[in-house]
Amino acid sequence: MSIFTGAGVAIVTPMKENGEVNFEKLGELLEEQIAGHTDAIIICGTTGESSTLTHEEHLEAIKYTVEKVNKRIPVIAGTGSNCTETAIHLSKEAERYGADGLLLVSPYYNKATQKGLIAHYTAIAESVKLPIILYNIASRTGVNIQPETIAYLVNHVENIVGVKEASGNISQVAEIAALTDGKCDIYSGNDDQIVPILSLGGKGVISVLSNVAPQYTHDIVAKYMEGNVKESCQMQLKALPLIHGLFCEVNPIPVKTAMNLMGKEVGPFRMPLSEMEDAHKEVLKNAMKDFGLKLA
């Protein structure tokens, strides 16, 4: 059984002006997402600025989210690291807090071999009982989890059940689907490829777009799953200018900027992320207006 089907939000981590995590605001965002029919919460992923959270903040954000959501929808905790022991520690704690699943990014910077990736993911999976979604995003980590490696892991490690595919390579996604024969839940890691990945048997998306348009993103997947492929495709295409705006600078700079423009007050970024360039902000504003989002 899949951890979730539909649109899961890769939720931002709101900050206070002094740089501390704003848990009160996080609670508001979680309630808005649930009201908007988001199908799962993914906490402490790339969009959540996990790379600049301390381990204490990281775990506190997971614990807070699990308690606030209170089993209304699944909570998937980002617990990946380029250090296997760190990933094991974070994963064990997330399991202890009651998370429903884990999202494990491929080890960054040290660029493990495919053999190393198998050892890394197997060690983490064996330390917990929670279902695990691999996160493949070579543009950030410097290493691609090859389709053969994904197939090996889902076939040999019981609780590795899926992959968030953010390679942007549809041919690779097709190869994963072919090699795993339905055993791997595939989620789009790119908002502009939701429908293409659904057409290859995908289960949904782990979405940045959902931060500003939760119901809309949910509906793209829901309509496809109901058999209304044409309308799902039309919605995907309509959202492209906004999606491009949300990625015209490195994530999560545009999406947090968009949320602040909407009056959601998610605060500043952690350095080395910086404020959005004015020219890019205008592109984002125009895309938001054209899509129908209300600016404060």
Give CA–CA dist 119/113, Å, rounded: 10
Put simply, whether the predicted model's pTM sits higher than 0.85 gets the answer: yes
224 band by pLDDT with thresholds 50, 70 and 90: very high
- The DSSP symbol for 295 reads P
pLDDT digits (tens, 9 = 90+) for 66-81: 999 999 999 999 999 9
**How confident is the prediction for the chain on average, in pLDDT?**
97
| Across 1-5, 44-48, 135-139, 205-209, least confident range | 1-5
pLDDT tier at 1, thresholds 50, 70, 90 = confident
Average pLDDT over residues 203-222: 98
Handedness of CA 85, 88, 93, 96 (dihedral sign): negative
Neighbours of 85 (CB within 10 A): 11
* pLDDT tens by residue, 78-129: 999 999 999 999 999 999 999 999 999 999 999 999 999 999 999 999 999 9
Kindly state the percentage of the chain with pLDDT values over 70. 100
- Cβ proximity of 152 and 118 under 8 Å: yes
| Among candidate residues 243, 116, 241, the one with its CA nearest the CA of residue 189 | 243
pLDDT at 186: 98
**pLDDT cut 90: percent of the chain above it:** 99
What does the DSSP 8-state code read for residue 293?
P
CA–CA gap between residue 232 and residue 223 (Å, rounded): 6
> What residues act catalytically?
135, 164
Q: What is the mean pLDDT of residues 238-267?
A: 98
